[in-house]
Amino acid sequence: MALAEKILKGDIKAASRLMRDIDDEMDSATDELKVLYPQTGRAHVVGVTGSPGVGKSTLVDKMVEVLRRDSKTVGVIAVDPTSPFSGGAILGDRVRMQRHSTDEGVFIRSLATRGHLGGISRSTHDVIKVMDAMGKDIILVETVGVGQDEVDIVNAADTSIVVLVPGLGDDIQAIKAGILEIGDIFVINKCDQEGADRLEQELRIMLEMGQKSTDRWTPPIYRTEAIKGEGIEELVAGIQRHREVLQQEGLHQKQARQRARYEFLEILKSSLMKKLLQRLSKNGELDRIVDAMVKREKDPYTMAEEIIHKILP
Amino acid sequence: MEERKIRVLIAKPGLDGHDRGAKVIARALRDAVMEVIYTGIRQTPEQIAATAIQEGVDIVGLSCLSGAHNQLFPQVVQLLRQKGGDDIIVIGGGIIPYDDIPVLKKAGVAEVFQPGTSTQEIIRFIKERVAKRT
């Protein structure tokens, strides 16, 4: 329990240590999170997602700058992929954000996906909670460079930002499902490049087609040139506006309920699986099941039912 | 329970921009199943220490080719101790004269690797040291 108490007292090292335990799936981390949970739910969580190379890290870096000017404390979670071959990872998003590393109002943590698909690591949800409990006003989560379907971030973020750039070929066609549906805010970065007007136009048409008359929020499109810091203030103001609309319209409550439900089921699923797997592998039952399947003596459906029946008669 | 993954910060303190060595090491450590945080060139000791704490690393690898290692490496060690990161192992590499190595070790640098060291040797050192610590 020691870590959680230290974190609530502002101990950075303890926070960092707990994030490590979460990432390494230590059982002790769960106990610490139990203590932290009542102190969470205050931070505004912003997801930043988009294809590789669209400038997510640079954008995050500039957003931190604007937020700090506004005296907001900021947490940043930057997710990079784990190599599927070696299991190692090079986490390089920080390179663009290093000027904030000595700012005590900013805490940046790099996470590797560790085989988890969906654009963020399995640990991301819980690391968000630690930063939330640390008292960060805003938490920016930069996903891995995603293509079409890696939209896990919506289950973690209050505001999801989708970053696009001109000149990725048949832009909108390539991304119309999935990632385009999750954006609360769209950013056209590198907007000095050719094709920005056309991209904006296509995007607008796309969004209008998807818009329902009952929607209380129309996703805005911001043009930025992150390298030069252009358009960032407007973008940060847009996040604030989204936050206000969420609160005014009672959407925030609805979102919170949805998320709580999702989160509980995920935790239930994974702890159930963990316990079950331990038991099945300990008494050799898993091996027997696999053998029976390979020899076609029994089918997996029946055997799964049998096991479930044993636990939940 | 899964084995703990080793986390390493590879950082370049000082003003030289020669990051080839640091990148080769980062790559080799990644292939040795470690998670490597890479922060790029021209980092101050303050930035490096703060990053090491925030990232919860086991070990910091410093690369310096400017000749300022006698200043910069001990500073990183000191700052880490001040911030409660005295359990974080610091190693160094780059163009470092033999005579400086004992001085650096006395200042708290765990090991100094000179040009020509195989990446396997560095990997072995890191794994042994981290295992010994925990």
Residue B111, min C-alpha distance to chain A (Å): 22
Say if the Cβ atoms of B26 and A90 lie within 8 Å: yes
Q: Stretch A173-195: mean pLDDT, rounded?
A: 81
Residue B1: pLDDT band with limits 50, 70, 90: very low
The tens digit of pLDDT for each residue in B3-29 reads 799 999 999 998 888 888 899 999 999
Q: What is the 3-state secondary structure (H, E, C) of A155-199?
A: HCCCEEEEEECCCCCCHHHHHCCCHHHHCCEEEECCCCCCCHHHH
Number of inter-chain CB pairs under 8 A, A vs B: 88
Decide if A75 contacts A138 (C-beta within 8 A): yes
The tens digit of pLDDT for each residue in A30-59 reads 999 999 999 999 999 999 998 888 999 999
Question: Is the dihedral angle over the CA atoms A165, A169, A173, A179 positive or is it negative?
Answer: negative
Strand, helix or coil at A118? Answer: coil
Separation CA B128–CA A89 (nearest Å):
20
B67 DSSP 8-state letter: S
Residue of A nearest to B45 (CA): A102
The tens digit of pLDDT for each residue in A219-238 reads 999 999 999 999 999 999 99
Is a pLDDT exceeding 50 seen at residue B44?
yes
Q: Looking at the partner chain, which of B26, B50, B56 has a beta carbon nearest the beta carbon of A102?
A: B50
Which pair of tokens denotes residue A185?
């805010």
Which pair of tokens denotes residue B49?
């220490």
The answer to whether ipTM exceeds 0.90 is: yes
| Domain B7-133 falls under CATH 3.40.50.280 | yes
Decide if A17 contacts A3 (C-beta within 8 A): yes
Say if the Cβ atoms of B38 and A94 lie within 8 Å: yes
What would you report as the CA-atom Rg of chain B, rounded to the nearest whole angstrom?
13
Lowest-confidence range among A62-71, A277-286, B72-81?
Answer: A277-286
Separation CA A109–CA A117 (nearest Å):
19
Separation CA A124–CA A117 (nearest Å):
12
**A60 CB contacts (<8 Å, ≥6 apart)?**
A48, A76, A78, A93, A96, A97, A140, A142
Is a pLDDT exceeding 90 seen at residue A150?
no
Q: What is the 3-state secondary structure (H, E, C) of A73-98?
A: CEEEEEEECCCCCCCCEEECHHHHHH
User: Chain B interface residues facing chain A, Cβ-Cβ under 8 Å?
Assistant: 1-2, 4-5, 7, 26-27, 29-40, 43-44, 46-47, 50-51, 53-56, 83-85
Q: Which residue has the tokens 């931190």?
A: A64
Say if the Cβ atoms of A94 and B2 lie within 8 Å: no
The tens digit of pLDDT for each residue in B89-99 reads 999 999 999 99
**A124 CB contacts (<8 Å, ≥6 apart)?**
A77, A79, A111, A141, A156
B55, B57, B88, best to mutate vs chain A, most A CBs in 10 Å: B55
- Please state the φ and ψ torsions of residue A63, each to the nearest 5 degrees: -65, -40
Which pair of tokens denotes residue B132?
């010994």
Which pair of tokens denotes residue A245?
């609309």
| Domain A40-249 falls under CATH 3.40.50.300 | yes
Separation CA B62–CA B67 (nearest Å):
13
